[in-house]
């Protein structure tokens, strides 16, 4: 028998080993990503979210651990409907409920694509539960949603995470009216449906911008809170105010990811400070309020030294450095755009930082107002605003009637008339119309 011998140059063997080593490292990083610690989230770029937003540890671990047995018991026995469950916060809340295997978990949202991704994400990580899990691309302000509710056994808990959340959405009367429909009147509709079926709890997400509001988005959520004060006579209601959710869909930090993928300059205000929580923390906060909140309680993150106000520009610098790029400040949007290709080729990145001058921007955020009663004793890292019903029913009726008149009138609509109705409910609203909006920024 003859034996064939092949002589392979060492350089080829060395190259093949390097490729194999690289592929193994890539696979290892993917495997590690499945079990990353909180704050280190792999999508869409590997990075430590906590480090990027200037934090060191998760906020709610101790409270979740201390109440895990009761959380699991209550959720496992419940039929739960999540409205607006395909946004970043809605998906996070849905995941927290799914982990604890409820009897039924139904998720409604107008975004069909995001619902598909929610299912893929859950199936690819948490797998399957013993309960009935469904997602439905429905608008809650439709007959299709009503028919679905009528076809189902009663829910124990309804959680409303839907919102028009952008300050820029108040720029015209038509989007502003849509904001009021989603943030206020769809909430009123669904809380009444929850009461009619005998649900034991209705939860709605508010915002830190509802505390001493300076923009119409925050004002819409504060008005929602007032309407829920009235509805709480018929069903227990709890809420949550929380900080910016880091890298949530449509947020400025999400925009950083998009700019990186598209190799475009990054722009951010240099004088605006915000609190930031991770997507998982947003889900945990809402779950804790939904399960443990007493009537009209509003849960919020307790600033215990871990949660500090942080500038967007500082986050932009840490974000780029975390991805191996040197931020290069530019004096204008034009310079940042013009130098993008040149700088990125050198592992540098053009950034444009500016002073905020647009309508509705608040220099800093706050979770509560001076007149509100606070409880810092019940939980370690969660504060609770303790409310008693406080509303003027005639004022709320007049507001609703005024909005209805505008909605039923032919266009064009006047934004000033809508703002007048806001002020009738919120005389404390400190809204300054500057004529500039974020759509006019890069």
Q: Strand order in 348-354's β-sheet?
A: 266-269, 348-354, 326-329
Percent of the chain with pLDDT over 90: 76
At 347-356, the pLDDT tens digits run 999 999 999 8
Q: Is the pLDDT of residue 32 over 70?
A: no
HEC states along the chain? CCCCCCCCCHHHHHHHHHHHHHHHHHHHHHHHHCCCCCCEECCCCCEEHHHHCCCCCCCCHHHHHHHHHHHHHHHHCCEEEEECCCCHHHHHHHHHHHHCCCCEEEEECCCHHHHHHHHHHHHHHCCCCCCEEEEECCCCCCHHHHHHHHHCCCCCEEEECCCCCCHHHHCCHHHHHHHHHHHHHHHHHHHHHHHHHCCCEEEEECCHHHCCCCCHHHHHHHHHHHHHHHHCCCCCEEEECCCEECCCCCCHHHHHHHHHHHCCCEEEECCCEECEECHHHHHHHHHHHHHHCCCCEEEEECCCCCCCCEEHHHHHHHHHHHCCCEEEECCCHHHHHHCHHHHHCCCEEEEEEECCCCCCCCCCCCCCCCCCEEECCCCCCEEEEECCCCCCHHHHHHHHHHHHHHHHCCCCCCHHHHHHHHHHHCCCCCCCCCCCCHHHCC
Q: How far apart are CA 80 and CA 97, in angstroms?
A: 8
Terminal-residue alpha carbon distance, the chain? 74
pLDDT in tens, 359-397: 667 766 788 888 899 999 999 999 999 999 999 999 999
Please report the pLDDT score of residue 306 as a whole number.
Answer: 80
253 has a pLDDT exceeding 80: yes
Between the alpha carbon of residue 207 and those of residues 1, 221, 224, 241, 351, the distances in Å are 81, 7, 11, 4, 29
In this predicted model, what pLDDT tens digit does every residue of 50-84 receive, in sequence order?
Answer: 999 999 999 999 999 999 999 999 999 999 999 99
- pLDDT, tens digit, for every residue of 180-233? 999 999 999 999 999 999 999 999 999 888 888 999 999 999 999 999 999 999
pLDDT band of residue 23 (cuts 50, 70, 90) is: very low
| pLDDT at residue 440, rounded to an integer | 73
CA atoms within 13 A on the CB side of 20: 6
Predicted local distance difference test score (pLDDT) of residue 302: 87
Model confidence pLDDT, tens digit, residues 76-111: 999 999 999 999 999 999 999 999 999 999 999 999
Q: Is the pLDDT of residue 2 over 80?
A: no
What pLDDT, on the 0 to 100 scale, is given for residue 13? 39
Contact by Cβ (8 Å): 319, 52 = yes
Residue 335 tokens, joined: 């310079």
Average pLDDT value for residue range 252-269? 96
Cα-flanking dihedrals φ and ψ of residue 163, to 5°? -170, 145
Which pLDDT belongs to residue 8? 40
Residue range 257-280: average pLDDT? Answer: 94
pLDDT value of position 165: 87
Query: Looking at the predicted structure, is the pLDDT value of residue 45 above 70?
Result: no
- Mean pLDDT of the 236-246 span: 93
pLDDT category at 154 given cuts 50, 70, 90 is very high
* Band of pLDDT at residue 44, cut at 50, 70 and 90: very low
Give the per-residue pLDDT at 360: 64
For 7-11, 152-156, 207-211, which range has the lowest pLDDT when averaged over its residues? Answer: 7-11
Per-residue pLDDT at 35: 34
* 383, two tokens: 């504060």
CA distances from 13 to 6, 16, 19, 21, 27 (A): 13, 5, 10, 12, 21
Residues with Cβ within 8 Å of 351's Cβ and at least 6 positions away in sequence, in order, are 265, 266, 267, 268, 313, 316, 317, 320, 327, 328, 329, 330, 336
Return the minimum-mean-pLDDT range out of 6-15, 125-134, 430-439.
Answer: 6-15
16 vs 238: CA distance, rounded Å: 60
Residue 16 has pLDDT above 50, yes or no: no
pLDDT at 26 over 60: no
């Amino acid at each position: 028998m003859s034996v064939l011998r092949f002589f392979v140059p060492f350089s080829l063997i060395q190259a093949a080993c390097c490729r194999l080593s690289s592929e193994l490292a890539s696979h290892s990083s993917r495997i590690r990503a499945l079990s990353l610690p909180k704050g280190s989230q792999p999508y869409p770029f590997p990075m430590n979210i906590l480090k990027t937003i200037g934090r060191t540890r998760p906020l709610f671990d101790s409270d979740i651990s201390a109440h895990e047995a009761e959380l699991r018991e209550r959720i496992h026995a419940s039929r739960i409907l999540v409205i607006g469950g395909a946004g970043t916060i809605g998906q996070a809340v849905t995941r927290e409920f799914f982990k604890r295997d409820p009897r039924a978990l139904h998720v409604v949202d107008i975004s069909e694509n995001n619902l598909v991704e929610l299912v893929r994400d859950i199936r690819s990580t948490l797998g399957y539960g013993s309960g009935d899990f469904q997602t439905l691309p429905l608008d809650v302000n439709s007959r299709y949603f009503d028919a679905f509710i009528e076809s189902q056994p009663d829910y124990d808990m309804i959680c409303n995470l839907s919102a028009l959340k952008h300050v820029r959405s108040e720029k015209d009367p038509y989007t502003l009216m849509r904001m009021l429909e989603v943030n206020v009147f769809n909430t009123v509709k669904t809380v009444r449906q929850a009461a009619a079926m005998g649900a034991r709890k209705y939860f709605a997400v508010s915002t830190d911008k509802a505390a001493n509001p300076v923009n119409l988005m925050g004002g819409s959520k504060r008005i929602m809170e007032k309407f829920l004060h009235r509805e709480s006579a018929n069903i227990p209601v709890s809420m949550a105010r929380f900080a910016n959710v880091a890298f949530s869909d449509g947020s400025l930090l999400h925009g950083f990811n998009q700019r990186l993928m598209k190799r475009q300059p990054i722009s951010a205000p240099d004088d605006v400070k915000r609190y930031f929580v991770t997507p998982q923390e947003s889900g945990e906060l809402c779950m804790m309020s939904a399960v443990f909140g007493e009537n009209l309680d509003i849960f919020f993150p307790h600033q215990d030294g871990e949660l500090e106000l942080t500038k967007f520009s500082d986050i932009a610098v840490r974000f780029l450095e975390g991805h191996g790029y040197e931020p290069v400040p530019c004096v204008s949007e034009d310079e940042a755009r013009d130098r993008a290709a040149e700088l990125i080729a050198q592992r540098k990145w053009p950034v444009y930082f500016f002073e905020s001058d647009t309508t509705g921007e608040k220099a800093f955020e706050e979770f509560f107002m001076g007149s509100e009663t606070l409880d810092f004793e019940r939980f370690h890292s969660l504060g609770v605003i303790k409310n008693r019903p406080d509303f003027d029913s005639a004022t709320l009726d007049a507001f609703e009637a005024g909005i209805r008149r505008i909605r039923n009138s032919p266009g064009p609509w006047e934004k000033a008339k809508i703002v007048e109705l806001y002020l009738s409910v919120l005389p404390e609203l400190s809204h300054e119309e500057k004529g500039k909006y974020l759509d006019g920024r890069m």
